Amino acid sequence: MTIEFLPREGEEVEKRAEISKMAIVAIWVSIPLAVLILLFPTLSGLIRGSMWGLKLFGSDFGTLLGVLAVIGAIILTPAILAYIGFAIIYSRRNQEFALVVTNYRVIGKNAQQELSIDYEDLVNVHEGHSLLGMLFSYGDLTLQSGKGSITVKNIKDAEAIRKNLLARIGAC
């Protein structure tokens, strides 16, 4: 998403901060991986218990695999659909963030608001990272001023932008 604004006289865009694509990829990959890691002991226990049941009751192995496949499909299909829905919603929500740095001000936009802050009014810039954000070099920036504050999520190279903004207001 881009920010459309009317530039002031002599104002030039110095940086358009991008939303990190790794933030989106991370959510698409991390949740299924975590689910597999958490479910593996349960599934292997179910299979071992079923194998024990086969020995005890002398049932047919093919029938057991068929029953397990049906149970797995009944359990996993809604879970997979829910995950895909969550990931799509998360991806779209994270595309609603933008940040523009000019030579006079910084403009932040998130899903709820857009805020333009002159450097004279900028009080503080806070940076936050998730574990994946630290690994893939993206983070959230919170811009604070007398007018209010705004948080822009999953910004690529958030630390460098924060240092740049703090240097402009003399707080570094």
pLDDT digits (tens, 9 = 90+) for 48-94: 666 665 565 556 665 666 677 777 777 777 877 787 777 777 666 66
The pLDDT of residue 3: 65
Rg (CA), the chain: 25
The pLDDT of residue 142: 93
pLDDT digits (tens, 9 = 90+) for 24-55: 777 777 777 777 777 666 666 666 666 665 56
Using CA atoms, how far residue 86 sits from 31, 105, 161, 168, in Å, is 10, 35, 30, 39
Find the range with the poorest average confidence among 115-124, 125-134, 149-158, 163-172.
Answer: 163-172
Please determine, for residue 118, whether its predicted confidence score (pLDDT) is greater than 80: yes
Residue 172 pLDDT level (bands cut at 50, 70, 90): very low
Q: How many CB atoms lie within 10 A of CB 154?
A: 27
Domain ranges of the chain: 13-19+98-169, 22-93
Tokens, residue 80? 């997979």
Residue 125 pLDDT level (bands cut at 50, 70, 90): very high
Q: Mean pLDDT over all residues of the chain? A: 78
Regarding predicted confidence, which is higher, 10 or 91? 10
How many Å from the N-terminal Cα to the C-terminal Cα in the chain?
A: 29
In whole angstroms, give the CA distance from residue 89 to residue 65. Answer: 35
Contact indicator for 136, 26 with CB cutoff of 8 Å: yes
The pLDDT of residue 62: 59
Residue given tokens 């149970």 in the structure block: 71
Is CATH 2.30.29.30 the right assignment for the domain spanning 13-19+98-169? yes
Q: How many CB atoms lie within 10 A of CB 137?
A: 14
Using CA atoms, how far residue 27 sits from 11, 13, 84, 91, in Å, is 37, 31, 11, 8
In whole angstroms, give the CA distance from residue 135 to residue 132. Answer: 5
In whole angstroms, give the CA distance from residue 53 to residue 140. Answer: 52
